Amino acid sequence: MAKDAHTLRRAIVSAPLDFDLFDPLSSVTALEIGATSVRGKLRAYNTDHYLAVTFTRGLETVVTSLAEADRPPAFEEHGYAMFVADGSGSRGEGAYASRVALSTLAHLAVQYGKWNLRVDMETAAGIKQEVLRLYRLADDALRQASRKLPGTSLTTSLTMAALAGADVFVANVGHSKAFLFREGDLIQLTTDNATERLGMSRPGTDPGPLGPEALGEQTGDAVGVDVEIEHAKMMPGDRLLLCTNGLTDVVREAEIADALALRRRPDDDCQQLVDLAVLMGSTDDITAMVADYRTASRA
């Protein structure tokens, strides 16, 4: 039976509005992160520190006259940042240096972070500049902290991996390292040869003299700190490893890959890697941080 004009009008104005739900990749990806750090057996202090944080952006309706069917559901997108630092010095200054660097970065991220979670060419360039800025501010903080300890220079290596959606940005100063484990292959992200193998873009370093090889280090007339930054795309099933040289100095990459291939939980794999380094005779502090990358199924 044909509807009359009034019935048709009421049907139109009462029907729920038709919207396509927007699910950016940053709202459906996640990292499961584990970490372990042990003091070297010949050391009085563990000079390593690690930090992992998540940052979020979201929307939730507080009050509205709209019907439930007409308003967007609660929404949240998120990113992750992982840091490993290895301070120099055996009398407590190394532990203090790595602590200053990571604590400074965490507070600076709150103060200055723009938290771009949807990455395109423009935002990728902005993220690299923000990373460089944060590293330089952490470098300044170490130099200022050194003034509290006359005759001491607080220095630390610092490796970072920041992830938004499928994009991971890896920054490094010093001898700590970052790796990507993908389909049985262990790819070092903190060296130039990783660029060709993964098709990563490289922003280069600041023009002018190269900076020191550790945060807080002062070498002649060097300008700023020389930060190596890489940008890669993640795939479901990928694993990230950040570690200090207490691991990589004694454990071969093939052995690290074998450990990651067994796919235990990240905390268990970190412990496995640390135990392996101790078994191989490492006397240095050892830190490992492992993260599993996954995506949730879209509705």
Which structure tokens are listed for 236?
């479901």
pTM of the entire predicted model: 0.84
- pLDDT tens, the chain, 299 aa long: 567 888 888 787 777 777 777 677 777 888 999 999 999 988 888 999 999 999 888 888 999 988 888 888 888 888 999 999 999 887 788 999 999 999 999 998 888 767 778 888 888 888 888 888 899 999 999 999 988 887 788 999 999 999 998 999 999 999 999 999 999 999 999 864 333 444 444 443 333 333 457 888 876 544 567 788 999 999 999 999 999 999 999 999 999 999 999 989 999 999 999 999 999 999 999 999 999 999 875 44
Q: What CATH number has the domain spanning 23-58+73-295?
A: 3.60.40.10
The burial of 268, by beta-carbon neighbours within 10 Å (0-12 exposed, 13-18 middle, 19 or more buried), is given as middle
CB 85 within 8 A of CB 102: yes
CB 218 within 8 A of CB 153: yes
Show Cβ contacts of residue 209 under 8 Å, excluding neighbours closer than 6 positions: 221, 222, 223
CA 53 to chain centre: 8
